[in-house]
Amino acid sequence: MTDLTRLTAIEVTDLLRIGAISPLDCLDALEKRITAVNGPVNALVTLCFARARDHAKRLMELPVHERGRLSGLPVPIKDLVDVAGVRSTQGSPIFKDVVPGQSDIMVKHLEAEGGVVYAMSNTPEFGAGAHTFNEVFGITRNPWDTRLSASGSSGGAAAALATGMAWVAHGSDLGGSLRNPASFCGVTGMRPSPGRIAASVYSKIDGTLGVEGPMARNVADLALLFDAMVGTEAGDPLSLPREDVSYLAAARSGWKPKRVAVSRDLGISPVDGEVADIVLAAARKLEREGVIVEEAHPDLADAMNCFQVLRAIGYATGMRQLLIDHRDKLKPEVIWNIEKGLKLTGDEIARAEAQRGTLFKRMHAFLETYDLLLCPATIVPPFPVEQRYPTHCNGIEFTSYIDWLLIVGTITLCACPAISIPCGFTASKLPVGLQIVAPNRGEAKLLAGAAFIEKTLGLGAITPIDPRVTHVS
């Protein structure tokens, strides 16, 4: 049998549906691959193959048509989300020994659709920051060059996909945490509209900045996972009913955008010149297919203040008690973000909420003229793992650990679905991600457009790779 880990997720699920392979075969292939390549990248930090095989055997007792959309396809879960009976740490020493008795709504939903959980992927402490390291499991390294960051906070998921330790993967996104690591690792990651994927409520019940989402090696595989993740649940008051649409069918539809906008920087952020040039060159290739490509972006002024304030409110709401009880175990960036939120005045919060409303309306109006907006998914190429975060770009010094995330954080504020797909390589042979943005609740259009662009660029099959282990001389 060919190495299953080299196949696409769609190819594997097709084999599962006709009985040519079983979920147990998939788990065996993954376990072998993890043994071979996980060491250099440190992507999957907790394995649960005994639990996975038990679940797989239960699935195999069912008729194939009752095994859900994933039919027994294994899926790793980001270590910010509870999985019953599996060590779920949130990347924090505070929770390093926690084994929850109940799974998150999102995990229950995914397992009901035939997903088999076999591992937890690494994340920064509480998902804070776009570089995946923590005191529990250490650093996740970039498969394209292990001296470099895999980004984050879904860095473990992205590195697992890029090295063939996963066909699809769960992640989450507030400030680009699905899009940044996809860019750095040469895979795809999509932030859906708020409410598309139901998840358990832990503090703020109406938060729309953080969302769960899918990652994969290509757009079609991502759409397959997304089909299995969406849907409403009573335990999530913001969750949306499943649309009468197959996202995989949308990705396969062949739809071509008529007019797209492209921007080097959205008018708000410095961007490394090489990254910007690669993104613009990729956009220009669409013109050969008859797409109108114009350099444009909406007015997104005030995005930095808005993002900083509303993000800080979330940290203060969700982690105030942790600061009181466990300050000595929190990393400095988390402490700073919680304290920033606690110090906000009513006037500052009111101003930020008004700014977000304005940003949303401007983006909504802009995307009535353009089918899609294209821009960089990250403002720099992968950086050395010794850095906690980029401190400057193009001569601009950053004042916090999240300043460099504004190009993705602004799209979060606008409540738009957005995906990062590979669009080229730097001179150092490192992948660069193209961020593609669609109107709120426009995931079908987004996936159709992303699949068209992926095909045009010819970069839909650049992974899996073996890690490029490079030692510092």
Residue 103 bears catalytic tag: no
Burial state string for 202-211 with b = 16 or more CB within 10 A and e = fewer than 16? eeeeebebbb
Total Cβ atoms within 10 A of residue 40: 17
With 0-12 / 13-18 / 19 or more C-beta atoms within 10 angstroms meaning exposed / middle / buried, residue 50 is: exposed
Q: Which of 151, 177, 183, 239 is catalytic?
A: 177
Residue 103 tokens read as 């799974």
71, 92, 103, 153: the active-site residue: 153
Residue in the structure block whose two tokens are 């549906």: 17
Contact 174, 210 (CB under 8 A): yes
- Pair 303, 359: CB distance under 8 Å: yes
Backbone angles phi, psi at 397, to 5 degrees: -85, 135
Return all residues near 96 (Cβ < 8 A) that are at least 6 apart.
89, 136
Closest CA to 79 of 115, 51, 47, 112: 47
CB 190, CB 230: distance < 8 Å? no
Question: What is the crossing angle of helices 23-41 and 49-60, to 10°?
Answer: 160
Burial class, 24, CB count within 10 angstroms (exposed 0-12 / middle 13-18 / buried 19+): middle
Nearest to 101 by CA among 85, 119, 81: 85
Known active-site residue 177 = yes
Q: Which residues contact 321 (CB under 8 A, 6 or more apart)?
A: none
Active site residue 57: no
Alpha helices in 153-218 (DSSP H): 155-162, 179-185
Catalytic residues: 78, 153, 177
